[in-house]
Amino acid sequence: MISKIDYLPPDTALISPGNALAKAFSKQCAQYFNDASSTFDVPLKPAGTAHQQKVWNATLGIEVGKVMTYGEIAKKIKSGPRAVGTACGANPYPLVTPCHRVVSAQGLGGFMKENSPGFYRQIKIWLLKHEGVL
């Protein structure tokens, strides 16, 4: 099972996947980057609190090319928008669990615990453009 997914800086040297699971995930990533509507089906190690899992499961229902606000997710799972944002920021499976599709009512919102226009925010922008949202 995959226990965590990290985004690496663009200048990181790539290495070949070392096992069957890594190869399968690498292939699925390549498919996604070629076609944003492709899906992931790699086994994930259970993680997170019950609340985090509710949030992450709710994001799985957001279609490619669509977004929901933190408030909309909060209303759906009977929570608060800030708690939803915190859960999205703690997502150990970005890309597979698409928290990048959750945005602020006033704009883009943060991504992976970052609210400033840095590395992770640029990833969120890129993913949403790739999926046809921006």
Q: Which amino acid is at 114?
A: E
Q: Do the beta carbons of residue 4 and residue 92 sit within 8 Å? A: yes
Q: Is 99 in the active site?
A: yes
Q: Where are the alpha helices (DSSP H) in the chain?
A: 20-34, 50-60, 70-77, 81-89, 119-130
**Which burial class, exposed, middle or buried, applies to 30 when counting CB atoms under 10 A from its CB (0-12, 13-18, 19+)?**
exposed
Angle, CA of 46, 75 and 133, to the nearest 5°? 80
Candidates 87, 95, 99, 128; catalytic one: 99
Catalytic residues: 99
